[in-house]
Amino acid sequence: MKPILYVTSNINDAYNEFGFLSKIKDKRKIKLISSEHIKELDIKVTSVRLPPNFNKSAYTNNLTYAKKIYKCREAQLSLKTLRSLDYAYFNLFQKRFFAFSVIKSIQLMLRMRNKSLRKCCILVFDAAEFINYNIILELAKQCRYIVLLSCDLVKTRKLSEYIIANFGVSPIVTDDELYAIKIADFIISSKHHEFSHDKLVWQLDNSTSMEGNNIFVNDVSYNVPWNTFKVDFSMELIGTILSQMQECDVDSALKYNGIYLKDIKFNNNVIC
């Protein structure tokens, strides 16, 4: 297996700068956290901390520089910083693993409330955004009542047609925000948005601090059978490891390796 470059950052101290001075400042802040070996899998994992500069150009430069100085140009990237930027670097399996984690956690939260994912109304907003695509596909495998909320109705209707043709599910496509939120049992949102009180929300944008009476989720953690590694096994790191194995199906890969969903979280706070 390829070595892994595991990249984290403190997004609570985020800033947005790009220029000559910021490049120098950022390079000094790129730090090696650890370099460890998962003996059971024979994988080397180099953990690096990037400065929380989430200017898109600065983020790309910092990531490239980290790969260079730690000699990880051929390494498999595992990114856990600002998700809106990280997601573009995910490979297909990592995207599917993230989507699986979102839907699995929703299923468990609904079950704890004596509800069924198959029978509940799940709202996806903004359904036209790229980060929601694999999540919608995963959702269509298990849910019969899907609402796709977006102002881009042309793109969303094309996606709906694909869902109908491949999964036999007919999503509701709408730009009526009040209607969509009112009927939703659970909301998957890629944007920072104010929702009605008492709604369950999976917040894909992990940069925001949400308030109010809603229950927000933006992360999950897993139990793993590998004990020779000191750094926490994040959802992103597990997805990177599994992506290098031969198994294409996410659920099968988890079962084969004895990995189970542990906690559903908002940042570092365990929700359930």
101-123 pLDDT, tens per residue? 999 999 999 999 999 999 999 99
- What is the model's pLDDT at position 96? 97
Percentage of the chain beyond pLDDT 70 is: 97
pTM of the model: 0.95
- The side-by-side arrangement of strands in the sheet containing 146-149 is 172-174, 146-149, 122-125, 186-189, 200-203, 215-217
Please provide the average confidence, as pLDDT, over all residues in the chain: 93
Q: CA 171 to CA 162: how far, in whole Å?
A: 10
Mean pLDDT value of segment 251-256: 94
Q: What is the mean pLDDT of residues 29-52?
A: 92
Tokens of 84: 């809106």
Q: Name the residue among 123, 134, 229 with its Cα closest to residue 183.
A: 123
Per-residue pLDDT of 189-235, as tens digits, reads 998 887 877 899 999 999 877 767 788 999 999 999 987 666 678 99
Model confidence at 69, pLDDT cuts 50, 70, 90, reads confident
- Ordered by where they begin, the domains of the chain are 1-89 (no CATH), 91-272 (3.40.50.720)
Compute φ and ψ for 67, nearest 5 degrees.
Answer: -65, -35
Query: Tokens 């079950």 belong to which residue?
Result: 111
> Does residue 74 surpass a pLDDT of 70?
yes
φ, ψ of residue 181 in degrees (nearest 5): -65, -40
Name the residue with higher pLDDT: 194 or 4: 4
Which residue carries 């990592």 as its tokens?
94
Tokens of 41: 């899998």
Nearest to 103 by CA among 118, 89, 82: 118
Of 184, 142, 271, 255, whose CA–CA distance to 219 is shortest?
271
